Structure 1
Amino acid sequence: MVSNPSPCPDGIFSYPKSEPIFRFGLNAFCKVGILDDAEIAFANMGRMIDGKPSVAIYNILINGYARRREHEKAMAVYEKTIKDRVKPDVFIFNTLIRSCRNSLFGLALEMFKEMKDKGRSPNVSSFHTLIKGSFRERKFEEGTGMAYEMLELGCQLSNVTYEILVDGLCRG
């Protein structure tokens, strides 16, 4: 695709199906853990498509790094998302919060605050991750406070939420 970018007769504009093809390729590279090739494909895609990539493309790459526990690289892609003026969605924030394991819990709380500052509403997954992290850090008041904040923002408590709360408080 890179050497022969446009099957259109004019060859002036990019092929409209380029981004979905790259999305499929990026997803495959990330699932099998070939992130160096995913980065190359991402760079090539940026040169080939008209306009900026969708937020889903950035999310695939961030998720790939988060699954490999390479938080610094995931954050670098997030910063590129901001630099490219693509609005991060709640999925990107949830992935970054989830990638902040154990010693990075403070950073997870910062990402949560940034999510709200950027006008993205946290969902149940955001809260579950933060409540589990609070209990893991032995900060029980913060964990239960997150549950109250969850209710204030209109998120329903699910069976999973109750299991997390009961398990965390019993361990404490």
Structure 2
Amino acid sequence: MTLFQDKEECGLHPDIVVYNILIDGLCRAGCIKDARELFYSFPSKRFQPNVFTYSIMINGLCKEGLLSEANMLLKKMEGSGCSPDGCTYNIIVQGFLRKNETLMAMQLLQEMVEKGFSANLGTVSLLLDLSSNSGLDQSVLEMLNKFL
């Protein structure tokens, strides 16, 4: 991070791809605070986060168990004119499923399908694991049948 800051001070201005890589690395290293700080510094750098930036940050938040913040970021994403894609939805649905927040996961899954996206293999596997372990109630199983 210090090297990156030194480069900025020397007048080198990285593009959005470099920032995405850095945010992803910080999230993977468990430095969510630093990733969040960098993400929210975008306006001062005259950058607009793109779908990849949002997806990376949502993924990092989900991995840290910060699901409500991840969901708020998803809503902020939509409000800023950056539409989530299938990858973004699968990330957040999986985050909620991993924490057994099935009701919210199913709401997001329904929203995802309504927007024309489908569940990926990871999402389907988590759903099937939950259903086979009786982790889902009957109403959720009925809704799940609509998606599979």
TM-score interval for Structure 1 and Structure 2 normalised by the shorter chain? 0.7 to 0.9
- Kindly provide the amino acid, as one letter, of the partner of residue 135 in structure 1: L
Unaligned runs of 5+ in 1: 1-34
Q: Do residues 114 (structure 1) and 76 (structure 2) align? A: yes
Q: Higher relative contact order at CA 8 Å, sep ≥6: structure 1 or structure 2?
A: 2
Residues 132, 168 of structure 1: 8 Å contact kept:
no
Aligned to 1:154: 116
Unaligned runs of 5+ in 2: 136-148
Aligned to 1:83: 44
Deviates more, 1:88-97 or 1:154-163: 154-163
TM-score, normalising length from structure 2?
A: 0.78
1:124-146 superposed Cα distances (whole Å, 9 cap, x missing partner): 22122211221233221111111
For residues 169 and 124 of structure 1, do their structure 2 counterparts lie closer, same or farther at Cα, with a shift above 3 Å needed? Answer: farther
State percent identity of aligned pairs. Answer: 23
- Kindly provide the amino acid, as one letter, of the partner of residue 86 in structure 1: F
Aligned to 1:23: none
Aligned to 1:14: none
Q: Higher Cα Rg: structure 1 or 2? A: 1
CA distance in 2, matches of 1:87, 1:137: 30
Q: 1:48, CA displacement in angstroms? A: 4.0
Aligned to 2:90: 128
- Compute the RMSD of aligned alpha carbons: 1.9
TM-score, normalising length from structure 1?
A: 0.68
CA distance in 1, matches of 2:25, 2:119: 29
Residues 90, 120 of structure 2: 8 Å contact kept:
no
Residues 63, 95 of structure 1: 8 Å contact kept:
yes
* Structure 1: 4+ residue segments shifted above 3 A: 157-161, 168-171
Residues 124, 155 of structure 1: 8 Å contact kept:
yes
CA distance in 2, matches of 1:126, 1:75: 17
Out of 76, 92, 97, the residue aligned to residue 58 of structure 2 is 97
CA distance in 2, matches of 1:156, 1:135: 16
For residues 147 and 76 of structure 1, do their structure 2 counterparts lie closer, same or farther at Cα, with a shift above 3 Å needed? Answer: same
